[in-house]
């Protein structure tokens, strides 16, 4: 029953976190695009893309490794693991800060946005703070707790939204530097919240251990590469639509993807809680337990996602009109295709999580890299042949191919059977009713 409570509580926390985060981001975008001029908003977009890459570079190297090794190791090793993570994170942070200081002016000049130079330089402080926040969040997740992660992320996004909403409501003027300062305040507040929840796990002393540094780096380097490839594979279709057809075509596609991402929220939430569980079970219970964990978690995702998919398919035109207006009616056929991503996403995201947790990060990297290259090639030809729908078809084909490759590998490693997930999906509803509603 304790395990069941873990899944229910952790799943609800992560679903709420993902859903609330999506809504807050939509509200922030809605207000900010009206608060800033076209040029300022464009500069803000360039700034966010640049700093996100820095975060991915650092977090990709340590995040999955820290969660995996703490989840699956003895308590006496935790100080060495956390210390090694801090060492790697600190080194990367200093390196990125130096690059920022050296090339901020050059990048601002090349991007024809002089406002970026002081923004990049000021962000260095926020980057240092976010490194501390990442460490705290990873330590909490490794201990199978998620309340602090949820609370700290919520505080970070709400403070920025409130600042923008106040300026918008009272018609105050603001500038980009002010937004960067607010980001800094958000990071400080998030650290305070995260520390409150994770302080009971912070019983370690710094221990420099070269062996653990090498182990975390060797594990994390493929997670890092996977993250970079994932970012590219998720944006290539929109970039190519804008380049081959027009930014308007990319916008129509983006509307469909945004709605699909709302349906896909449970996939991201379940993936967050499955990773530490899988890392722990491979050490304590063996591959059979991980096989069950994969099939059962995918089954739960299918059971949650499928009703949402059916609902959106039935009311697709109404949903598009409510969220984007009748001028985006051409997004409806695109949405009907992109929704299918969610089915394969249930399998695909969990496949990557399971492979990473059993130490197959290199395998995950090559799968994602192959898919990224395939998306690039297919989009080039399909967009020229079928227009906007070509991008949707190209990405769907890549999802199918990625699903097939991952299932072959999972069968070889864990004897996973994808059909079992559909059986668990059917059983999900009576199990949920009996355990959590009727308390049987």
pLDDT tens per residue, range 256-269? 777 777 766 655 55
> Structural domain of residue 72, as residue ranges?
23-208
Residue 102 in domain: yes
Query: How far is residue 16's CA from residue 426's CA, in Å, rounded to a whole number?
Result: 24
Contact 65, 81 (CB under 8 A): no
Please indicate, yes or no, whether residues 226 and 312 belong to a single structural domain of this protein: yes
- What pLDDT score does 129 carry? 92
Residue 215 in domain: no
Nearest to 158 by CA among 136, 182, 181, 141: 182
pTM of whole model > 0.75? Answer: no
Query: Considering 208, 231, 264, which residue would you say is the last residue of a domain?
Result: 208
Please indicate, yes or no, whether residues 58 and 171 belong to a single structural domain of this protein: yes
Query: How far is residue 271's CA from residue 231's CA, in Å, rounded to a whole number?
Result: 17
Nearest to 214 by CA among 346, 309, 324, 81: 81
Query: How far is residue 132's CA from residue 198's CA, in Å, rounded to a whole number?
Result: 12
- What pLDDT score does 98 carry? 92
Query: Considering 176, 208, 240, which residue would you say is the last residue of a domain?
Result: 208
Please indicate, yes or no, whether residues 85 and 62 belong to a single structural domain of this protein: yes
Long-range contacts of 285-293, Cβ-Cβ distance < 8 Å, separation of 24 or more: 287/358, 287/413, 287/414, 287/415, 290/354, 290/357, 290/358, 290/414, 291/414, 291/415, 291/416, 293/354
Residue 8 in domain: no
Please indicate, yes or no, whether residues 226 and 203 belong to a single structural domain of this protein: no
Please indicate, yes or no, whether residues 310 and 256 belong to a single structural domain of this protein: yes
pLDDT under 50: residue ranges of the chain: 1-8, 271-279, 282-283
Residue 202 in domain: yes
Q: Which tokens is 250 given?
A: 């990319």
Query: Considering 208, 242, 276, which residue would you say is the last residue of a domain?
Result: 208
Please indicate, yes or no, whether residues 195 and 244 belong to a single structural domain of this protein: no
Residue 11 in domain: no
Contact 383, 398 (CB under 8 A): no
- What pLDDT score does 131 carry? 86
Please indicate, yes or no, whether residues 406 and 292 belong to a single structural domain of this protein: yes
- What pLDDT score does 122 carry? 93
């Amino acid at each position: 029953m304790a395990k069941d409570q873990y899944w229910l509580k952790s799943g609800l926390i992560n679903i709420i976190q993902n859903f609330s985060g999506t809504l807050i981001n939509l509200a922030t975008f809605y207000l900010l695009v009206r608060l800033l001029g076209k040029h300022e908003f464009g500069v803000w977009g360039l700034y966010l893309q640049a700093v996100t890459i820095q975060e991915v570079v650092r977090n990709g190297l340590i995040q999955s490794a820290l969660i995996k090794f703490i989840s699956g190791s003895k308590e006496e090793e935790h100080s060495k693991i956390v210390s090694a993570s801090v060492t790697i994170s600190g080194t990367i942070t200093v390196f990125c800060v130096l690059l920022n200081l050296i090339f901020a002016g050059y990048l601002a000049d090349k991007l024809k946005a002089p406002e970026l130079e002081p923004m990049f330089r000021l962000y260095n402080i926020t980057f240092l703070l976010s490194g501390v926040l990442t460490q705290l969040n990873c330590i909490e997740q490794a201990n199978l707790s998620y309340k602090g992660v949820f609370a700290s992320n919520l505080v970070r996004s709400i403070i920025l939204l409130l600042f923008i909403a106040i300026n918008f409501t009272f018609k105050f003027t603001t500038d980009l530097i002010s937004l960067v300062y607010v980001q800094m305040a958000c990071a400080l507040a998030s650290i305070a919240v995260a520390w409150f929840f994770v302080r009971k796990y912070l019983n370690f002393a710094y221990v420099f251990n070269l062996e653990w540094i090498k182990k975390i780096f060797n594990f994390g380097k493929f997670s890092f590469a996977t993250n970079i490839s994932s970012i590219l594979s998720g944006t290539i279709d929109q970039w190519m639509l804008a380049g081959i057809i027009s930014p308007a075509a990319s916008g129509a596609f983006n509307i469909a993807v945004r709605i699909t991402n709302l349906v896909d929220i449970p996939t991201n939430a379940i993936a967050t809680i499955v990773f530490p569980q899988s890392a722990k079970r491979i050490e304590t219970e063996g591959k059979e337990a991980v096989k069950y964990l994969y099939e059962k978690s995918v089954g739960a995702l299918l059971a949650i996602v499928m009703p949402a998919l059916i609902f959106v398919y039935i009311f697709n035109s109404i949903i598009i009109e409510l969220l984007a207006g009748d001028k985006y009616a051409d997004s409806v056929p695109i949405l009907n295709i992109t929704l299918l991503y969610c089915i394969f996403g249930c399998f695909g995201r969990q496949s990557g999580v399971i492979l990473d947790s059993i130490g197959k990060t290199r395998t995950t990297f090559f799968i994602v890299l192959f898919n990224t290259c395939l998306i690039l090639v297919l989009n080039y030809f399909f967009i020229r042949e079928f227009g906007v729908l070509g991008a949707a078809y190209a990405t769907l084909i890549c999802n199918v191919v990625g699903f097939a490759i991952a299932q072959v590998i999972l069968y070889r490693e864990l004897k996973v059977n994808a059909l079992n997930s559909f059986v668990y999906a059917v059983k999900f509803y009576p199990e949920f009713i009996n355990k959590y509603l009727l308390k049987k």
